[in-house]
Amino acid sequence: MGKFTIGCFSSLVGSMSLDFAVKLAGTALEKGHKVDLWVSGNATMLSLKGQRAFKDYSHLEKPLQELMQKGLTVTACEACAEARGYHKEHTIEGFKRHSMDWYLASAFDADRVLHIGGE
């Protein structure tokens, strides 16, 4: 089985890119692949806990937690999060926070890197 590194830079609300990235990560995990998901820029919004679920807005906390239990590694860019006021105490349990070199290190031994740019 292979390793996917998915980088996503689009916001949770206002774009469907993170929905796609999380769905893709789930599908890859189901097929037995290892998946690292990196969120940077506006995508660090994904790391915020306690977001209220409305039917009109993307809400991925629950599926994300299920995928993390299945082995998904999710990491947010710490600087991007801090710049937006998303501090460690606001972060979903299990969601990691690192500097940008973590993404490059994950890409180092990835079989495929899928980079989904921002808005």
Binding of residue 113 to another protein (CB under 8 A): yes
> Would you call 66 exposed, middle or buried from its count of C-beta atoms within 10 A (0-12, 13-18, 19+)?
exposed
CA distances 56 to 6, 24, 65, 75, Å, are 25, 21, 21, 26
Candidates 31, 49, 87, 115; binder of another protein (CB under 8 A) is 115
Footprint of another protein on 27-86 (CB under 8 A): 40-42, 79-80
Q: Can you give the binding site for another protein, defined by CB under 8 A? A: 7, 9, 40-42, 79-80, 99-105, 107-110, 112-113, 115, 117-119
